[in-house]
Amino acid sequence: MPDRIEISHRSKPIPCAMCGQHALHIGRILSPDGTLLGRTLVCTVCRPRPQIAAFRRAA
């Protein structure tokens, strides 16, 4: 099963360098059983589904 990224919408979004909108959130990378693997920045405008995009690049 793929890892998933959970975005915390309680955190205040910060400006994105790619699109310029305040849509950059801190996302938590979680394994299928809910273990925290790390954190990443996710722009909901540029990359609404970052985990899907990553798999498309790898394929």
Contact positions vs Zn ion (CB under 5 A): 16, 18-19, 43, 45-46
Q: Tell me how far, at minimum, the Cβ of 48 lies from Zn ion, in Å.
A: 10
Token pair of 11, please? 């955190």
Identity of the residue, 5 or 16, whose beta carbon is nearer to Zn ion in the bound complex? 16
Q: Tell me how far, at minimum, the Cβ of 6 lies from Zn ion, in Å.
A: 18
Q: Tell me how far, at minimum, the Cβ of 49 lies from Zn ion, in Å.
A: 13
